[in-house]
Every structure is written in structure tokens, then in C-alpha cells.
Structure 1
Amino acid sequence: MKPTEAYILRQPEQYQAMMLHVLAVVEQELPHSELLFKWGIPYVYYKKKPFCYLAPNHKKCFLDLGFAKGFELKRNQRILVDEKRNTVKSLRYFSIEEIDNAVLIDVISEAKGLYT
């Protein structure tokens, strides 16, 4: 079993469900991406560069989907969280029901355009 798969399967069910859902959408939108285990978390690489990561926060009960070039994104600013970070902005999910696929796909699409 790959480290990323083991990591996801070790998560409590609510995080597993969110992570698997988000990864399915990412893989659909970025078919040539690569899922790696970097810095102790699942990290998606696109065109051999960091694209986004999935970091469950058990203490605050959310999944952080951080985009490496988040500060270059223009759309969805009302939803993206920067939390005093210099480059990363993220989508935060507290449950699988609150994942808005249209927004998720739009953020992925815009971020994808930043990788030339």
C-alpha cells in the first residue's frame, strides 16, 4: 500500500470521505496529476510542481485543501482562506455535504491555468 493510501485510510471516516471525494474531483480535472506523500500529507503535483494538498485538522474538525499558488487566484476570494500564509490559500470543508463541486472545479480550473 502506498503511503498516501495508508494515510487516508488511517483517518476518521468523516475525513476519509472528504479526502476521497476531493481527490476524485481533482483527478477528474487534472488527469495527468500525480498524488504523492510529501511533508506528511497527501500532495497533488501537476506538471511536476506542487499543486494542492489535503490536510485534515482533527483539532478544529476540518479538511484544508490548500493550493500552492493560492495567492495568484482571482476568483472565489470570498471562500478561499489565507490565514496569514504567504502563498497558499485553501478551501475548508467541515463535512462532505458542504463540498460545492462547482466551486471546487472552478478553483482547480483557475489554478490549473497558472501552470504553463
Structure 2
Amino acid sequence: MKPVDDYFLNQKEPYQSIMLYVRSVILNTLPEVEERYSYKIPFYNCHKKPLIYLNVLKGTNYVDVAFVQGILLEKQFPILKNDNNRKQVRSIQLKSLEDLNHANFVELLLEASNMLSKTKKAWFV
């Protein structure tokens, strides 16, 4: 079993179900995405650069669906929040599956991938 699979299977509910659903949407929406296990969390890379990662931050009660270049997307997608005063990462905080608008999330993934394909590096700040 891959380390990323272990990560998901070791999550408590409802986090496990949320993460597995988000993972399936990412993999089905972006067939070119590469799933990796980095910094002890799942990362999804497009165009050889990190696009998105999933995490449950200590002291929180939600899954953090974090977009590496989220600062460039937050005006177009107001669902993205600046949690923890991060410089460029913006995220969606999911406490339940009902918190995720599937169509909006797919649109966000496609736009984030398209934007990432045009940049030289993912971490620019």
C-alpha cells in the first residue's frame, strides 16, 4: 500500500470520507495530476509543480483543501479563505461533504491547473 493510501485510511471520520471524496474528484477532474506523499500529507502535482494538498490541521475540526497558488484564485472563487495568515496558499475548509459544491470545486480545479501551467514556479512568495 502507498503511503498516501495509509494516510487516508488512518484518518478519523468524517475526515476520512471527506478526503477520499475530494481525492476522487481531483483524480477524475485532472487526469494528468500526480498524487504524491510529501511532508507527511497528500499533495497533487500538475505540470511538475504542487497544485493542491489535503490536511487536517491540529486544533481544527475540518479538512483543509489547500491550493498552493490560491492567492491568485481567491477573487474569482470566494470560497477560498486565508486560514492561518498564509502568504499565498488559500483553502477550502470542509467540516462535512455537504460543505463542498461539486461543480464549483471542479471549476476551481480546472482553473488552478490552467493557471499553474502558465507559471514558472509554484511557490512565488
TM bucket, shorter chain: over 0.9
Compare the two structures and name the one with the higher strand fraction: 1
Q: Secondary structure at the match of 1:61?
A: coil
Alignment correspondent of 2:112: 111
After TM superposition, where is structure 1 displaced by more than 3 Å over at least 4 residues in a row?
A: none
Q: Secondary structure at the match of 2:105?
A: helix
Asked if residue 69 in structure 1 is aligned to residue 69 in structure 2, the reply is yes
Q: Secondary structure at the match of 1:57?
A: coil
Letter in 1 for 2:80: L
Alpha-carbon distance between aligned partners in 2 of 1:58 and 1:24, rounded to the nearest angstrom: 24
Alignment correspondent of 2:38: 38
Which deviates more from structure 2 when the two are superposed, residues 55-64 or residues 33-42? 55-64
Structural mapping, 1:77-92, within 5 Å: 77=78, 79-83=79-83, 84-92=85-93
Q: Deviations over 1:7-44 (max 9, x none)?
A: 11000121110001001111111101111111110000
Percent of aligned positions that are identical: 33
Structure 1: any 5+ residue segments left out of the alignment? none
Alpha-carbon distance between aligned partners in 1 of 2:39 and 2:97, rounded to the nearest angstrom: 24
Q: Using structure 1 for the length normalisation, give the TM-score.
A: 0.93
Q: How many residues align?
A: 115
Q: Using structure 2 for the length normalisation, give the TM-score.
A: 0.86
